[in-house]
Amino acid sequence: MKYNPQKIEKKWQKKWTVDKLYEPDFASAKKPFYNLMMFPYPSAEGLHVGNMYAFTGADIYGRAKRMQGHDVFEPIGLDGFGIHSENYAMKIGAHPAAQAKVSEKRFYKQMDSIGNGFAWDEKVETYNPEYYKWTQWLFIQMFKKGLAYRKKAEVNWCTSCLTVLSDEQAEGGKCERCGSAVIKKELEQWFFKITDYAEKLLKNLDALDWSEKVKIAQRNWIGKSEGAEITFKLKDGGELKVFTTRPDTIMGVTFIAVAHGSIYAGKIAVHPVTGAELPVYATDYVVADYGTAAVMGVPAHDERDRAFAEAHGIYVSDAPLLPYDEALKKCGGKKETRFRLRDWLISRQRYWGPPIPMIHCEKCDWQPVPESELPVLLPRVKNFRPEGTGKSPLASVKSFYEATCPQCGGKARRETDVSDTFLDSSWYFLRYPDACTTEVPFSPERIKDWLPVDMYIGGAEHSVLHLLYSRFVTMALHDMGYVDFEEPFTVFRAHGLLIKEGAKMSKSKGNVINPDEYIERYGADTLRTYLMFLAPFSQGGDFRDESVMGIYRFLNRVWVLVLGNLTAGSNGALQKAIHKTIKKVTEDIADLKYNTAISAMMILLRELEAGEPVAEDVKTFLKLLAPFAPHITEELWGMLNGEGSIHKSAWPVWDAKFIEEDEFDLVIQINGKTKRVIKAPKGIDEAEAVRLAAVDGAPKRVIFVHNRLINFII
């Protein structure tokens, strides 16, 4: 019988769904393990091979944990609100709500075809009113706690998406979504006070078991600076406060730099120690909402200040540095701690998102929508395109914005902005364990048993977007008493990125790979195993068509091996190779070193083919392969009369006696100095060690340490 992956895979995918193989028993789970891949958003083209790379890596880890006795929960859903989906709908002339359903159907069909052990009954889609009802509830809790506020501020504005962006979404002056230029606009917007949690967000990183590059990115973004606030009097009256991390350079100050738009620009400040007159300049390198929006210009000790001073003919002082405490005392400075982190801008002037659940009354100011009236439904409107006026398309829908004040009952106006899509994804992991509940956003009982997430895998590019926001929201919910943990993800690992034959995948290059054609030709098991074989999971790798065939041949050899003449019992001659492989694969999966785990299995397959394989040994091999190639191993497990599903069978355990080396490194010394090291059989006596060492002459004395060294005293 020939290996037919297409037939086998469809068969098992259907049976797993019918049998609910991957649905955990939430009520009686003894060892809950929450295994999660970062929330996917359905791109216009559907699932691409980079998505499959990430999802397969997460699934392998979860499958191994399930076989090791854990009750694994691996849910799936769609982060379907937001600019990316809306822009595509506009591009093809579709309504975002209609296109969302098309994308959902295609994405879920593709996700089913890759063979992941998803718990499909707990699906979550952010555009479902039963979900965004609770996103709106979350906004209201933030408002009640004083963590949501509205203010007029200079904000980032994407010239293409026609909406405001958070600082995290506009780093480098480019839109995180479309890459277009970002300009500054002054608008009144809603913000979350993430800065209230800056110190905790920074401090907690030390104890997190996360990929180090992600922790470094968060530390840099939070940007804690310890320094001093120094007051400079202005010559024409008033004063200017300056924050500096280098008060010791106070004597070298020759100008003051302020942000553009500052009322202080053009004035003259007075040096607090020398009394010298210091010009105040507006510069590009001072940010309006960081610190006091003013810094000391010390060209002798700062390259940026020096360049500015040289360009404007400002003199460079050669005054010496002062001891830190003496400097603070001389100019009356006070120690201060500042953060680079800015408050999270939540408002979006777009259509496709959850309406912000707030109402404005001229008499009562801003009031939250009563929770009994949630969700505030997003109306199906024909004209959903943003106009770039600073207002959402909903601002022109009278039936939507006309409202009654919850406080006084008078006429009021509903907020017409929608919230940032990153708010949708900041709490989804709390919803999954009881995704169908209608009374609460998340079940307290399920949260207690299953959260925080045990293993979270995703892209490092979300270090200061999704990951930072999720941590903040979890901390806030903890302080409100809704959850009993501060950190949402116990372990986080960043996966690598795929390239295609040496080049980064992109639509413009035409090298984005759709996994469908490879699954149709070779099967999902081949593609899964190939993707994991490319390189260490944390690094990513180079996708090459010709290499896929090598994995296909490997799985065909496994098929042929099982269909061969297997005998009962166990082959003693193979036990050493088998147990060494069990140890290697077990440890490599734990470290996400999937490529070397597959290499070890390839070596073992050759040993099995060359020896006299028996059924029990081949079953052990199939168990090791099962997380990588779940369909073929399930089929072959049945052919070998394996009990139940292979994915619920017990993971193999290695026996130390089989993996002990038969040889050891014999250190040969003369007068205590090592001369060479040779391989020697374990257990040899002194006489045999002397013979193997072959040292010339007759030593005065011989010191022999069993299975370690021999020292000749000459």
pLDDT in tens, 171-230: 778 887 778 888 888 889 999 999 999 999 999 999 999 999 999 999 999 999 999 999
Whole-number pLDDT of residue 606: 95
Beta-carbon contacts of residue 362 (< 8 Å; ≥ 6 apart): 410, 412
Q: Residue 166: pLDDT above 70?
A: yes
pLDDT (tens digit per residue) in 603-643: 999 999 988 888 999 999 999 999 999 999 999 999 999 99
E strand map for 111-181: 124-125, 148-158, 163-165
Beta-carbon contacts of residue 42 (< 8 Å; ≥ 6 apart): 78, 80, 85, 100, 103, 104, 106, 107
- Find out whether 681 and 705 touch, Cβ atoms under 8 Å: no
Beta-carbon contacts of residue 251 (< 8 Å; ≥ 6 apart): 273, 274, 317, 319, 320, 321, 322
Lowest mean pLDDT among 454-468, 491-505, 588-602: 491-505
Q: Scan for tokens 């738009």, then name that residue.
A: 261
Beta-carbon contacts of residue 341 (< 8 Å; ≥ 6 apart): 194, 195, 198, 201, 221, 222, 223
Domains and CATH numbers, the chain: 32-134+422-500 (3.40.50.620), 224-339 (3.90.740.10), 522-655 (1.10.730.10), 661-713 (3.10.20.590)
Whole-number pLDDT of residue 175: 85
Confidence of residue 290 (pLDDT cuts 50, 70, 90): low
Instruction: Work out whether strand 499-500 and strand 542-543 pair parallel, antiparallel, or are unpaired.
Output: parallel
pLDDT (tens digit per residue) in 301-357: 999 999 999 999 999 998 999 998 888 888 888 898 999 999 999 999 999 999 999
Whole-number pLDDT of residue 156: 86
Q: How far apart are the first and last CA of the chain?
A: 70
User: How far, in Å, CA of 327 to CA of 334, rounded?
Assistant: 10
- Find out whether 681 and 665 touch, Cβ atoms under 8 Å: no
Whole-number pLDDT of residue 634: 98
Average pLDDT, the chain: 93
User: How far, in Å, CA of 71 to CA of 33, rounded?
Assistant: 6
Confidence of residue 93 (pLDDT cuts 50, 70, 90): very high
Q: Residue 402: pLDDT above 80?
A: yes
Helix-, strand-, coil-residue percentages of the chain, each rounded to 5: 40, 20, 40
Instruction: Work out whether strand 32-37 and strand 71-73 pair parallel, antiparallel, or are unpaired.
Output: parallel
Burial bucket for residue 674 (CB in 10 Å: 0-12, 13-18, 19+): exposed
The three-class DSSP label of residue 5 is helix
Rounded average pLDDT over 234-248: 92
Q: Residue 291: pLDDT above 70?
A: no
Confidence of residue 472 (pLDDT cuts 50, 70, 90): very high
Rounded average pLDDT over 552-561: 97
Beta-carbon contacts of residue 487 (< 8 Å; ≥ 6 apart): 204, 208, 452, 471, 474, 475
pLDDT (tens digit per residue) in 642-695: 999 999 999 999 998 888 777 889 999 999 999 999 988 888 999 999 999 988
Whole-number pLDDT of residue 289: 64
Q: Residue 508: pLDDT above 80?
A: no
Whole-number pLDDT of residue 689: 93
Whole-number pLDDT of residue 570: 67
The three-class DSSP label of residue 4 is coil
Closest CA to 562 of 641, 679, 650, 630: 641
Q: Residue 117: pLDDT above 90?
A: yes
Ramachandran sector of residue 390 (left: φ over 0; alpha: ψ -120 to 50; beta: rest)? left
Rounded average pLDDT over 559-567: 88
DSSP letter, residue 407: T
Q: Please tell me whether the peptide bond between 375 and the residue prior to it is cis, using omega within 30 degrees of 0.
A: yes
- Find out whether 495 and 54 touch, Cβ atoms under 8 Å: yes
User: How far, in Å, CA of 609 to CA of 578, rounded?
Assistant: 13
Lowest mean pLDDT among 110-114, 186-190, 557-561, 629-633: 186-190
User: Which amino acid is located at 413 in the chain?
Assistant: R
Whole-number pLDDT of residue 581: 96
E strand map for 573-635: none
Give the length of the chain.
Answer: 714
- Find out whether 341 and 222 touch, Cβ atoms under 8 Å: yes
Closest CA to 495 of 456, 454, 533, 458: 458
DSSP letter, residue 235: T
Q: What percent of the chain has pLDDT over 70?
A: 98
Chain-centroid distance of CA 535 in Å reads 19
- Find out whether 173 and 184 touch, Cβ atoms under 8 Å: no
User: How far, in Å, CA of 17 to CA of 116, rounded?
Assistant: 11
The three-class DSSP label of residue 696 is coil
Q: How far is CA 286 from CA 118, 260, 333, in A?
A: 49, 8, 20
